[in-house]
Structure 1
């Protein structure tokens, strides 16, 4: 194998690995965003006692 071929293969492999890492990070970011959108305020969905009152938070509801 010539030296130029080895350099081209190493460069191509580096680009593929770099794009793979970038794509994987992007995939995880999208999944985290979907999870956060769904579960952001999930603890308040089942509690209808405080719908009209201001948002108190988990600590307030735990003390009830």
Structure 2
């Protein structure tokens, strides 16, 4: 019997495959409506990335 997590993963994989354009449109709309949050997320990502690169050298 499949694990519940495995079943959920498979369901979500199929859902995303069938609703790809709808999901992308919602993401696009969110980014357009929340430019300040997008900027914060972008900056936080690159600050973390820079710290990782410093630790790796």
Q: Which structure ranks higher in relative contact order (CA pairs < 8 Å, sequence separation ≥ 6)?
A: 1
Q: Which has the larger radius of gyration?
A: 1
TM exceeding 0.5: no
- Taking structure 2 as the reference length, the TM-score comes to 0.43
- Taking structure 1 as the reference length, the TM-score comes to 0.39
